[in-house]
Amino acid sequence: MSTTTATATATTKWWSGGRSPFNVEYGKIMMWYFLMSDAFTFGALLISYGTTRFATQGWPDPNHVFNSFPGLGSGYPLLFVSLMTFILILSSVTMVLAVQAGQNMNKRAVVSNLIFTIIGGLAFLGCQAWEWTHLHHEGAWWGRNPFLNADGTQSTTNFTNFFFTITGFHGFHVFSGVVINIIMLIMTLNNTFEKRGHYLMIEKAGLYWHFVDLVWVFVFTCFYLV
Amino acid sequence: MQDLRVLDDAHAAAARKEVYRVTIILSILTIVELALGYSMVNMSEQSFSRHLIKGIILILMLAKAFYIVAYFMHLKHELRNMIMTIVLPLGLFIWFIIAFLADGNSFRELRNKYAPYDQESNIPVKQNQHNEQEKGTIELKKAVE
């Protein structure tokens, strides 16, 4: 008897039916596939940015373009964007904690961590709104680029066009993530998940929120650092 | 069917510990990235060290992406089948990046060779440029002299 069980577990036939080969709930798999398609969308945007940058003679130095901090004025390269990055990382951490609290059926912890995540998301959007306004006051917008190339030559509008399009598309994702998290918060407060017996919905919202953080890692590196 | 049973306390504590560990790793990676980015402030645009730092930053970026996907999105703890259905299609990006960046580079070289009058560096610099940018430009010109 024991030998048959041993061989059965050694050669688990995941694809011969009767079980889920991924062992993941349907909605979560679909969220993963949606995020994969979204990754290709963002990838296409970032790769077109890279291609254009490689095809262009010069490019503005991000350390000279993004060097302002609200209340401090200019001359602080990378400072404001580091604040934005840490806000998003921390909101991602509170989201993991909300997911784990949901797995423990701990409603109070889910609610508080979701609130922290929503505050983080709103803070990030506020930072982005400030930065866009600031750049707009400096004369930057789609089709307008006041910044010179790093070598002092005139720059094309490729720089601002890609910056506003890609950070705008990412900001739109953050905004939808905040809306989704608010819906999750309302559903938790209404005991929807308690009655359902599981908090799997929070895990799907969590996947989306982490993806937003993941995209920011790439956007942040491509526009502000490299 | 997925196992929906409630996790026991020891399991939950271990999971929380993992979250804190990954948070610290992500913060350190971000701080190193920012320090490297800051070190490039007055470096000349085409210098080797600047390209090297950019390369290191890109590797750190991939490390951060790995930690977010593997631990925050929990992919590392899924079945191998599940991991492969997500990761393998993303392998297309390796080809995308190499092909498109090479294409952009070749376009620039061809234009410089056959249509040099079309270079954007020939566009005259307009007056009333952004002040901060002027400052940076002057610094750079001094460095060249």
| A156 to chain B, closest Cα gap in Å | 7
- Interface contact A150-B69, CB threshold 8 A: no
Per-residue pLDDT for B134 more than 70? no
How many residue pairs bridge chain A and chain B with CB atoms within 8 Å of each other? 193
Burial class (CB in 10 A: 0-12, 13-18, 19+), A61: buried
B42: helix, coil or strand?
Answer: coil
Per-residue pLDDT for B4 more than 90? no
- Interface contact A36-B140, CB threshold 8 A: no
Q: Give the residue extent of every domain in chain A.
A: 24-225
The number of helix segments (H) and strand segments (E) in chain B equals: 5, 0
DSSP B22-34: HHHHHHHHHHHHH
Residue B13 confidence (pLDDT):
87
Give chain B positions within 8 Å (CB) of A86: 27, 30
Give chain A positions within 8 Å (CB) of B63: none
Chain B residue at shortest CA distance from A65: B133
- ipTM value of the model? 0.89
What is d(CA A100, CA A106) in angstroms, rounded to the nearest whole number? 9
pLDDT in tens, B100-116: 999 999 999 998 888 87
pLDDT along chain A (226 residues), means of 10: 48 81 91 96 97 92 90 88 96 96 95 98 97 94 91 88 97 98 97 95 96 97 93
Residue A200 confidence (pLDDT):
94
Q: Give the residue extent of every domain in chain B.
A: 1-88, 91-145
What is d(CA A106, CA A197) in angstroms, rounded to the nearest whole number? 12
Point out the least confidently predicted range of A18-27, B31-40, B129-138.
B129-138
Give chain B positions within 8 Å (CB) of A139: 130
Q: A24-225: what CATH class?
A: mainly alpha
What's the mean pLDDT in B14-37? 94
